[in-house]
Amino acid sequence: MMFAHTRAWLRTQLFDAWQLFIAPGVAALLPWRVGYRWLVWLSVHTSLFDEAALPIAAAAATHLQLSEAERERFAQRVRLICLIDHADLYLALVRWHRSGPPWHVAIRGEWPREGGFINTGFHYGTGHWIFRSLARAGRESVALYAERSRDGFRTHPVRFWYGDLRIASVEKLGGTESVFRPHIRRALHAIESGKTATALIDVPPRLAAHGQKPVTLLDRPASLPHGLIKLARSCHVPLVPFWTEFDFEHGTRTLTIGEAIDPKDPDALQKFADILSRQIRRTPEAWYFWGELSRWIEDAAPLHAGPTATSDDLA
């Protein structure tokens, strides 16, 4: 019995190593046209990242009324985006030259040249290139992460090691300091000193420690956390949205830097919801939180039923 348990444990670790390190790492070492074809083949013919892709596709199928064939195609595209995201970790380490990113990664827009700001993204697509682009623009930054514990990875230590590698690579690529959520005051001091902070705004309601405010997302009543808006307002800095757009035919992607948003704007949170809605419609397979959307709508119902929010509430 113990031997069978050990064998199953080893099989799990080997699969995680294949999924997180080997398969995407091979793509990063090959010429990208070949490496991308390798990732497409893996997304079609293997079960890599099915643990994420199948639930995402099932939830999206409910909201988008997908047929069985469309659902399978959706899952295949989610697998591909996950593979690209993991390959980008290794690509950013080996293929970013002083002259700029590789040909298959474009940068659209510019980061503010002076003063602190919060560069604000979503649980959407890929985002690893942001940290080197910030460093190349001469901006010092911190990255905000949820607290992580080794205890939560007892059965999947390879995943914990991969997380360590990803955080370390962000720090190396961008000269970035990592700040975990219980120590948010460190990020506050960094922003006030003129650095930038990177964070994601579409946190599920159950994980939003500082509360939610009503927004319209995908033409539905929903909510988004307003903690980042409050942080930016207290630091007197703007929020700068960013996201990634994909060209699946050629395997290219574009890191897009949006226009700065004033946290004092009463519509600031809705502007982020509008960006996210637009990007979800453009590439629905790139949003990782389809499984949370029903709960978002449910949790938002009392907010939308209550009194009209004031601009101070939304800050």
pLDDT of residue 182: 62
Residue span of the structural domain in which 131 resides: 2-314
**DSSP codes joined into one string, 191-241:** HHTT-EEEEE----GGG-TT-EEEEEETTEEEEEE-HHHHHHHHHT--EEE
Query: What's the CA gap between 273 and 266, in Å, rounded?
Result: 13
Backbone angles phi, psi at 250, to 5 degrees: -105, -5
Inter-residue contact 155 to 8 (CB < 8 Å): no
What digits encode the pLDDT tens for the residues 198-238? 889 998 777 766 678 899 999 999 888 888 899 899 899 99
Length of the chain: 315
Q: Which two tokens stand for residue 94?
A: 């080996």
Helix ranges (H only) for 22-67 are 23-29, 32-45, 50-64
Bridge-based pairing of strands 252-257 and 239-247 is antiparallel
Bridge-based pairing of strands 220-225 and 212-217 is antiparallel
What digits encode the pLDDT tens for the residues 168-196? 888 887 777 777 766 677 777 788 888 88
For the chain, which ranges sit under pLDDT 50? 308-315
DSSP-based three-state secondary structure for 124: strand
DSSP-based three-state secondary structure for 58: helix
Q: What pTM did the predictor assign?
A: 0.90
pLDDT of residue 124: 95
Query: What's the CA gap between 290 and 280, in Å, rounded?
Result: 10
What digits encode the pLDDT tens for the residues 36-45? 999 999 999 9
Number of domains in the chain: 1
Residue whose token pair is 């595209």: 77
In this structure, how many other beta carbons lie within 10 angstroms of the beta carbon of residue 29? 13
